[in-house]
Amino acid sequence: AQKITQTQPGMFVQEKEAVTLDCTYDTSDQSYGLFWYKQPSSGEMIFLIYQGSYDEQNATEGRYSLNFQKARKSANLVISASQLGDSAMYFCAMRSISGGYNKLIFGAGTRLAVHP
């Protein structure tokens, strides 16, 4: 079965500091993709970063980086230099071949609060 686990219901961080949001996944597929999305209170899901299972380098997108440890099946999101606007829900998601083309399996999410 495909599953995403986010064990941190809530996190808080001081502005300008870095924060790591945890994500572990379970799949028997060799080919899969991992995503992180941000959901502000407005509800829209905003794509942050993507990591393919065959990518050798950890993905980075601006202040976001994905710490991909394939053997541990973890894909943690690191946000550097946190900003007040980073306060939101963050979801880790996975897509795999057996799951079907564009079907994303989401974790329960982590609510991040950035304090000034």
Partner 1 sequence: KAGVTQTPRYLIKTRGQQVTLSCSPISGHRSVSWYQQTPGQGLQFLFEYFSETQRNKGNFPGRFSGRQFSNSRSEMNVSTLELGDSALYLCASSLATSTLTYNEQFFGPGTRLTVL
* Binding positions for partner 1, rule: CB under 8 A: 31-33, 35, 37, 42-47, 50, 52, 91, 93, 95-97, 100-109
Q: How far is the CB of 47 from partner 1 (least distance, A)?
A: 6
One-letter amino acid identity for 11? Answer: M
Token pair, residue 11, equals 């996190």
Contact 115, 12 (CB under 8 A): yes
Our CB check for partner 1 shows the closer of 55 and 73 to be 55
Q: Which of 35, 64, 68 is nearest to 54 (CA)?
A: 68
Token pair, residue 63, equals 């202040």
Our CB check for partner 1 shows the closer of 57 and 101 to be 101
Q: How far is the CB of 31 from partner 1 (least distance, A)?
A: 5
| CA separation for the pair 109, 116 (Å, rounded) | 23
Q: How far is the CB of 2 from partner 1 (least distance, A)?
A: 11
Our CB check for partner 1 shows the closer of 101 and 116 to be 101
Our CB check for partner 1 shows the closer of 103 and 115 to be 103
Q: Which of 46, 42, 33, 48 is nearest to 99 (CA)?
A: 33
Q: How far is the CB of 17 from partner 1 (least distance, A)?
A: 28
